[in-house]
Structure 1
């Protein structure tokens, strides 16, 4: 059985790994010409994603590439004294198994895990998908696949082709996100430097193995802003306007906008779909149920979704008419919880009042100052995300012991290979 996966970010490589372990043949197509190394920001892996990564044998590499961020200094807009926070205690209180890692590092680790067993095609994209599995590409010759999975992110091409325009499913949360790479001029080592004001939050951090740093910007807007997703100059203009006059530190970070080698800007949008599957096509990760970039634990949700989808396909013997509904049932509660948690996290991270700014800073300081037991109890009372991820239950899907013998359809096998008819 030959399955096409679109997207080589996080969900795509994890899905490809587990599909091959269950005996399926997999091709991954990625629009970028090479595995992505575009800067990106730090993402969180919580307990369920850590457990899945351990099963994949990549947990040691993930832990080696952890950012090492353990301290946070919070500057409240219009306040004189910053607040010092012990992040390591907050992380341990939030989850008994957690790692913060740069997204590009994580993507590379998952890609390496199955690159020898998966056919990767870079520099191409899906142009059309027919009901019988015939796929046309922008560059390669047409090919028929048994199933097609969109793991191609919030602005999924597969979702557009199979389900319609993104506007039908996207829900604007009232906030925006910007990320840029810049020199680590502050010499940050294990520290997150934050500036928080009403309706806007900016931060800068590094990772112990990186020579540069990242600046992260979150801000609120009562209306959706007018810009095209390819109009980078306009996006930078909007970012400058949102953070104008916040603090000299933030001004310095923004001065790097015209020199940064990597820049990202997007609305914090949730995807809300009644179903992620249609015929031979299904979606995984942000392509199907993004809870909101930077606020919703979307990376953990993507890893879990990929693992569950592969497992349900194996359990159903490749019968997608049974596997897809089972996958959606298994993920439905996790997705609903993640969406609710993201909205709550956005309110906390981007306060809507001076009282909220004060609460964010002092609450973080209190949690980090308390002993481990009380701080864990307080965090569980005040955050939905900690309760959500610590209680996320996932079935075990043992890989096929004969997967290496069962796999067919890769290049070199009879009838296999990308472009085979």
Structure 2
């Protein structure tokens, strides 16, 4: 495989003869796919609904096989340099006192903070910077119609522009609207009974370099984490069956959060006060399952195909690994049908492992009763202690996803 600095300067005729691909989504999976396909000689175009690259987002982990892909891309040091600086995660009791601490360690260590911890927006920025000179980016528009003609795909964008591509890949989010145009209701979102709101707040003197996780009764939890941009990232979660909160407008969602977290101590009053002045993302946590990841000349990638949920910590690694495998199979020769089939054959076991949640998750980390909280905290103390750290136990159950359980193919460019 050539290194990341290889200079490829094709002739105009060569450019015209190169296969073309449209990728919808400029987060992690989309630019990751463009990175590899350009190296393999493809013409790459990315369309993104947002007017510009989205800088918001919470901490993500680059674990196991995802880290190996980042190393092969030559961006591992970039990710480390842009890391959040998070020292680890502390779990707190009702008074805000530390129950258990899990320091950040080497990749694969038992703990919720990985060695390569970075904001989603920062990782997207790195990937776009490494692809922007070779990939066409179309911001502020989206796909409104797709027609697979057998020998190519005609795409219509918002505003009416039409273009043809050899292939189309949807690398959008869990609730991809474009996916619904093509796959209809074949793709399912399995709810996990948890709602989470993520947002950014001003940093204050009591915020530390540790992520701090606070639980209270009713299945409610608050997580605040440091970032490398001078602010603090927050998440407020609560157990609930599906109630459609994710489809409400922002003001309605604010009222839900204020009702659910009314009277909760620790940082809840501060965060609820900040809701009026911050953008936030409110989601019903779930997992995407699809009977197939492609149809004709169109394929799904990343969360649009197999979102594992933020609970697993595996979304970013699945996006990077999936992009690497899909690009490699497309570049290996043969038909796109064979490439899509091989991509799915290689990735399915890895995805299935990543989506397999330990028994009781997410309820086990969001106890409803005082007795449940006491049991949870007792387990955390044991897991963080010298015996628990040696044998894994609860920490391994909660925080160690199967990040390495895939044999990454070697592709040459």
Calculate the TM-score normalised by the size of structure 2. 0.87
- The residue number in structure 2 matching 1:323 is 339
- The residue number in structure 1 matching 2:103 is 87
Aligned residues of 1:47 and 1:98 also touching (Cα < 8 A): no
Decide whether aligned partners of structure 1 residues 384 and 72 sit closer, same or farther in structure 2, where only a CA change above 3 A counts. Answer: closer
Aligned residues of 2:29 and 2:301 also touching (Cα < 8 A): yes
- The residue number in structure 2 matching 1:272 is 289
> What runs of 5+ residues in structure 2 fail to find an aligned partner?
1-18
Measure, in 1, the Cα distance between the counterparts of 2:340 and 2:399: 26
Aligned residues of 2:63 and 2:108 also touching (Cα < 8 A): no
Aligned partner of 2:73 among 51, 56, 60: 56
- The residue number in structure 1 matching 2:301 is 284
Decide whether aligned partners of structure 1 residues 80 and 114 sit closer, same or farther in structure 2, where only a CA change above 3 A counts. Answer: closer
Aligned residues of 1:42 and 1:103 also touching (Cα < 8 A): yes
- The residue number in structure 1 matching 2:215 is 196
Aligned residues of 1:16 and 1:114 also touching (Cα < 8 A): yes
RMSD: 2.5
Give the superposition deviation at 1:63: 0.2
Highest RCO, 1 vs 2 (Cα 8 Å, sep ≥ 6): 1
- Does the residue aligned with 1:29 lie in a helix, a strand or coil? strand
1:338-375 alpha-carbon deviations (Å, 9 max, x no partner): 1113776523432344454334434444343328xx62
Q: How does 1:322-361 map to 2 (within 5 A)?
A: 322-341=338-357, 345-361=361-377
Q: How many matched pairs? A: 390
Aligned partner of 1:160 among 156, 164, 180: 180
Aligned residues of 1:31 and 1:125 also touching (Cα < 8 A): yes
1:138-178 alpha-carbon deviations (Å, 9 max, x no partner): 03620111110000111213311110148x51111111110
1:186-222 alpha-carbon deviations (Å, 9 max, x no partner): 4423112221124111011212x2211111112100x
Pick which of 223-232 and 324-333 moved more: 223-232
Q: How does 1:180-329 map to 2 (within 5 A)?
A: 180-198=199-217, 199-207=219-227, 209-221=228-240, 223-227=241-245, 229=247, 231-260=249-278, 262-317=279-334, 319-329=335-345
Measure, in 2, the Cα distance between the counterparts of 1:387 and 1:288: 19
- The residue number in structure 2 matching 1:29 is 47
Measure, in 2, the Cα distance between the counterparts of 1:342 and 1:298: 17
Decide whether aligned partners of structure 1 residues 110 and 140 sit closer, same or farther in structure 2, where only a CA change above 3 A counts. Answer: farther
1:34-54 alpha-carbon deviations (Å, 9 max, x no partner): 1111x3111111021111111
Aligned partner of 1:146 among 166, 175, 180: 166
Give the superposition deviation at 1:275: 0.5
Q: How does 1:387-406 map to 2 (within 5 A)?
A: 388-398=402-412, 400=413
Measure, in 2, the Cα distance between the counterparts of 1:139 and 1:243: 43
Aligned residues of 1:182 and 1:253 also touching (Cα < 8 A): yes
1:90-124 alpha-carbon deviations (Å, 9 max, x no partner): 96623897411111001101111111111111111
Measure, in 1, the Cα distance between the counterparts of 2:183 and 2:124: 26
